[in-house]
Structure 1
């Protein structure tokens, strides 16, 4: 049996999915949500195998929902907006159902699911974002303009808090995360990423040099930017000093 969640802000959209899914007895609908915030809560509670996900919803968009999930299920987008199809496939969605869609179109989407192919491995979306042998992800979803793109964590030079969100600096660009800096710190490998300020995390391998500043240091990163180490975090830097 495969666990399914229906996420759509329109009751008619959820009803249509229930009707079409009735022909698939191996897929059990566990719950529904009509907004992005509840979608995150349900996904992290039930750990579904498949989520039918709308794009534009109150609270969080469908793409933003994905950035808040502890585990990434297979996703079929179901939406009235055609302009987000490219973004959907960039995050390795199984399919993109454009409302109004027929029963046959729904069936084609379902045929793309192949759980038996890799029952013991992660879904395609999870493979893209959580690849790696360790506990910490080697790739994450981050915002770039109006879309989400996968980013290899090794490319991150440093991270700056931006209110309740964060900016992730790489050699070529700046990306945005909807996570706060403390949440990001928990998700990144502490052997690589060091919190040096309440507003800053640095990739240790991307430090070019350190300059003493009073009783603290300024870290010059490989992209030329300078990150200040606050006194409260100096012990962490000293632990790396020989």
Structure 2
């Protein structure tokens, strides 16, 4: 905290400067002998803390404060105890009687530290959030790509062209290729984003089919479709997706 000492007594300023040596968090940036000099110092130095005498030649300490648009935190230092109530009415941090006791000075500075920390926190710019880690960009897969599939102790390296169906099974997705039906911990939404939409078609909420494996198509209930895949199984296409299927594959 930067502090300005304002007192018409050089001896009083010297004594206060000596006492403040025990508090390394306080840096004395200037001294003033009266209100006018203090005003000039306040404009130039902008201290955090003002040690202010009350009785001075010309204006009193109270009159100095009244003339300021903004004032730092104030600790009054005076030989007169009758102004204590008025001092707290102008929001002084403390009111120290001369000769100033070190324990009273320590208590006043503890209040000043608390106020200073609160002011610094309120006035500091909000810390910038750390840069967001970009989501990994997943490259779309083509039907000729091979994918690694693992279920328990078994592993496969499968061409997507050989997978005829992805189907929800509980909280997993089941993959149909050859005679195998492994389960993988992926959602259909995730798979749909990776797969080529010209080859893999979302038939309904539970299934994605490989169009290259379609064997037969027939009309079904409510203007929907039923598709049979080579090697099975049969898949019912939802009504909404049946409309999309016709639009996508019609001439």
| Pairwise TM-score range, normalised by the shorter structure | 0.3 to 0.5
Greater share of residues in strand: 1
Query: Which has the larger Rg?
Result: 2
TM-score normalized by structure 2?
Answer: 0.46
By relative contact order (CA 8 Å, sep 6+), the higher-ranking structure is 1
